[in-house]
């Protein structure tokens, strides 16, 4: 049974092939398959700090080493606003920096921020009539796709972290 905070990964393959090539293809993939459970005690987290700079700008910095506990921002106007970690922790949620096109950006815990309204808020999902289309930038050309960068895991109820959500 998978324990809370653990991560389970299972890598396997399905393939189609002519009958004569099945064994050679399968033999090549066998060594690339694996199953693993990674417990919380196996992660080597580092602190991730968010500094607010000049009002609405901010910078996200990670400690320089695994299990590092401190960061340094060299901007004299920087104010430490929020601290989190590089790995999942109890009470922390992933925060993303997202963009859609050249001028739309978002920082916060909602990976569906730019989607067309779907009748719910994250982590909820829409029903079959209101599907979540996370690959759409609502109100923009269909060819424009959002980009996501996982910035770290932060306490969403921390006012310093939530004040940065844009």
Q: In this predicted structure, what is the pLDDT of residue 127?
A: 67
The answer on pLDDT for 103 being more than 90 is no
Q: Supply the pTM of this predicted model.
A: 0.69
Cα 164 to Cα 51, 55, 75, 98, 107: the distances in Å are 10, 10, 18, 13, 7
pLDDT tens-place string over residues 58-102 = 889 988 887 778 888 888 889 899 999 998 888 889 999 999 988
Give the mean pLDDT of 97-121. Answer: 83
Q: How far is 94 from 128, CA to CA, in rounded Å?
A: 26
Q: How many CA atoms lie within 13 A of 68 on its CB side?
A: 12
Which distant-in-sequence residues (6+ apart) come within 8 Å of 141 by Cβ? Answer: none
Element (H, E) at 157: none
The DSSP string of 1-67 is: -PPTT-EEEEE-------GGGHHHHHHHHHTT-EEEEE-GGG----EEEEEEETTTEEEEEE-SSTT
The answer on pLDDT for 149 being more than 90 is yes
Q: How confident is the model at residue 51 (pLDDT cuts 50, 70, 90)?
A: very high
pLDDT tens-place string over residues 17-43 = 888 888 998 999 999 998 888 776 677
Element (H, E) at 133: none
């Amino acid at each position: 049974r998978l324990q809370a905070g653990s991560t389970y990964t299972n890598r396997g393959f399905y393939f189609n092939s002519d009958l004569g090539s099945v064994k050679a293809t399968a033999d090549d993939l066998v060594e690339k398959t694996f199953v693993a459970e990674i417990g919380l005690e196996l992660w080597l987290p580092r602190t991730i700090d968010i500094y607010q700079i000049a009002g609405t700008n901010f910078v996200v910095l990670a400690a320089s080493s695994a299990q590092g506990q401190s960061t340094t921002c060299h901007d004299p106007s920087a104010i430490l606003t929020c601290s989190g970690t590089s790995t999942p922790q109890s009470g922390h949620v992933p925060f993303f920096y997202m963009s859609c096109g050249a001028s739309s950006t978002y920082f916060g815990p909602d990976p569906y921020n730019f989607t067309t309204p779907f009748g719910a808020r994250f982590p909820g999902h829409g029903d079959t009539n209101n599907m979540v289309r996370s690959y759409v930038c609502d109100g923009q050309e269909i060819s424009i796709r959002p980009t996501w960068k996982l910035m770290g895991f932060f306490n969403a109820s921390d006012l310093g972290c939530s004040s940065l959500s844009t």
